[in-house]
Chain A
């Protein structure tokens, strides 16, 4: 499987998950309720909103700059696309840490996740941890490639790891964002 077809596959899988979720919601006719603030102070609430928006923006920017060349050149990234991706990378890395810190505690799996009914929160938690798990090798692999550690084949492997982990990070990160939004609409208190 080429990298461009892997990107397309992951995109369609993510889309399929969203479609299934939408269908399930329509079938179960769950009412739309406004989000709960959880009783947080105004400043913290706005900070969380800001972190979520900035984190999502950084993820989208990193995904677009990283994956769009893949669809054109099968993963070969050079020129302006490379510089743009590298420019986006540090803010993304910082935001990834901030989002992880803001969400890790709320995304602990609890007894409540096993309660009856279809909820977005467990899926949000799942995709959050998948995204965090893929973020680590995505960063480590490309950073390792910047040091004189691996030979030519090793370099190629590191770049391959970065591409595929980055792809799964993008997919799981966007699904996490989607289910976070759905959980908020459901009025989840997590």
Chain B
């Protein structure tokens, strides 16, 4: 046995060991819930004990990922991969919305290249700033990047990384508090946030207040005035078992309520005391949890529920019948409807009405967080349902937001300005307007926009996009013109799903085929800080590209004659059949007579 063979064998062994899944990723097949009695580990992998003199926050990636789970594989899933290269863009999804009330700004952001959204860098927002702004409503996955500024690198060392937080979805303990997590993220206590949210520890202080040279391993090195703000973690000894380990209530399949923390969409009319009037998705009502359709493997590439494929509308209701999904008959509905409309067009979101409705969302409005503005008018303003053609050319219901931001024209496109830049202009011109209590737009008019643009123009031609228009100064006067960048951003509605009895069309063809049918002729609210722009509305069919509205109107108008058409057709068919039968009978009679040599 030569040395070459031995080294090859050693390499093969290493490869084999690497290829093997970790302990918790290789299920034996039991449907039981494995106990998660585990040791808490800090960022270095050292075990945390309740009696430690200087407690450190536990690291989720070390505690969950040390020997049991491949957190690196998990971190490439949909919840974490927006910033990663080579990830498919996928269809338009819900954007993050950078809202700044002082500057009347509402910008859809995304790291995915969804048309109509802006990458945070385009707004001058670093990944760190993004994490501070939105990280509390994510499952983590933010940390220093090579292209970070010196300032950001220093601050990452102070705050720590906002690592992938498995507990957001998988900790079913009643003590787990995602609002606490968001609060800690807001204080830039990134490395402490999971510990604080888990309920196992009390976290005080704020990394945001710490100087750039703050070292969390030597916390007392800061000046006296900041001592009270030093981030500290204190574990409750009662949470530790005699073994020094902790029992987590970890679930393989997260409960819907955990998904809802971020993925709640709630109609503004059904919030507060009116909450009981709201509806629920028929799947939830029937006891089907989110994860039963939105499944995934270790890679956490959650099934997104497009129309076709396994665990989608068609996958369960047409091709298979997973979970006993009923097969729809769609009796009397011409097949052309299925070629031209998505399942969601009739079954998802609220039924279209004469005007669009407003809704709030967990991720954009911070629903469930501490001190959240509960007003229905709190920005951002989101609307639904808006019927538009999807990438396959089918009509589908969407959610919508109108972009509103200040920007500068660069290479033919308007590059948004960071709200801080605009705030400086407002301060310079003493144009800051008082905020409204309900959290809606400022009470401003065209004159204010004109004044702000005049100041911004000092550093280069500037624009303001709002209400579907691009506003700029021409010859010293404010003009508003159409612009592709001013178009509202739409993303498809998937839930809540309505059953057949509540579907669009359940009351008859005239749900859609009437001269004032909301699906084609409903009003879509225009949102803008300018009251004059909010007065107008767009017609639904403006979003339905290539829709022959003249045909739809004529078809709808012809519906009143449909009864007559049926009566004439049925009468004619009956008479023709009668003629046919009459002479057929006579022909048979003649045939019969001919067999006995008689003619008739």
Whether A140 contacts B329 by the Cβ 8 Å rule is no
B558 partner, pick from A83, A101, A139, beta carbons under 8 A: A83
How far is the CB of A87 from the nearest CB of chain B, in Å? 8
The stretch of B99-107, B422-430, B561-569 that contacts the partner chain = B561-569
The stretch of A62-70, A88-96, A173-181 that contacts the partner chain = A88-96
What residues of B have a CB within 8 angstroms of the CB of A76 in the complex?
336
Q: Chain B residue with minimal CB distance to A147? A: B332
A108 interface residue, CB < 8 Å from B?
A: yes
Within 8 A of B (CB), among A67-110: 76, 78-80, 82-83, 86-87, 89-90, 93-94, 96-97, 100-101, 104, 108-109
What residues of B have a CB within 8 angstroms of the CB of A147 in the complex?
332
What residues of A have a CB within 8 angstroms of the CB of B582 in the complex?
104
Within 8 A of B (CB), among A98-144: 100-101, 104, 108-109, 111, 129, 132-133, 135-136, 139-140, 142-143
Q: How far is the CA of A90 from the CA of B558 in the complex (A)?
A: 13
A139 with B580, Cβ < 8 A, contacts A78-B336, A146-B332, A152-B335 known: no
Q: How far is the CA of A149 from the CA of B338 in the complex (A)?
A: 17
Whether B565 contacts A97 by the Cβ 8 Å rule is no
The total of interchain contacts (Cβ-Cβ below 8 angstroms) comes to 103
What residues of A have a CB within 8 angstroms of the CB of B331 in the complex?
148-151, 154
What residues of A have a CB within 8 angstroms of the CB of B571 in the complex?
93, 97
Q: How far is the CA of A90 from the CA of B576 in the complex (A)?
A: 14
What band does the interface of chain B fall in when counting residues whose beta carbon is under 8 Å from A? 35 or more
B577 interface residue, CB < 8 Å from A?
A: yes
Q: Looking at B330, B332, B572, B577, which has the most chain A CB atoms within 10 Å of its CB?
A: B572
How far is the CB of B456 from the nearest CB of chain A, in Å? 48
B579 interface residue, CB < 8 Å from A?
A: yes
What is the interface of chain B mostly: helix, strand, loop, or mixed?
helix
Over the window 20-53 of chain B, the binary record of Cβ atoms lying under 8 Å from chain A Cβ atoms (1 yes, 0 no) is 0000000000000000000000000000000000
B554 interface residue, CB < 8 Å from A?
A: yes
B583 interface residue, CB < 8 Å from A?
A: yes
Q: How far is the CA of A188 from the CA of B331 in the complex (A)?
A: 50
What residues of B have a CB within 8 angstroms of the CB of A154 in the complex?
331
Within 8 A of A (CB), among B537-571: 548, 551, 554-555, 558, 562, 564-566, 568-571
Whether B334 contacts A143 by the Cβ 8 Å rule is no
What residues of A have a CB within 8 angstroms of the CB of B562 in the complex?
146
Q: Given A140-B573, A152-B330, A155-B333, output 12 extra A-B contacts at Cβ < 8 Å.
A: A76-B336, A83-B554, A83-B555, A93-B568, A93-B573, A97-B572, A109-B587, A129-B580, A129-B583, A132-B576, A146-B565, A151-B331
Residues of B bordering A, CB below 8 Å: 328-336, 338, 548, 551, 554-555, 558, 562, 564-566, 568-573, 575-577, 579-580, 582-583, 586-587, 599
Question: What are 22 pairs between A and B in contact, CB < 8 Å?
Answer: A76-B336, A78-B551, A79-B551, A80-B554, A86-B558, A86-B565, A90-B568, A100-B576, A108-B586, A129-B580, A132-B576, A132-B580, A133-B580, A139-B570, A139-B573, A147-B332, A149-B332, A151-B329, A151-B330, A151-B331, A152-B328, A152-B338
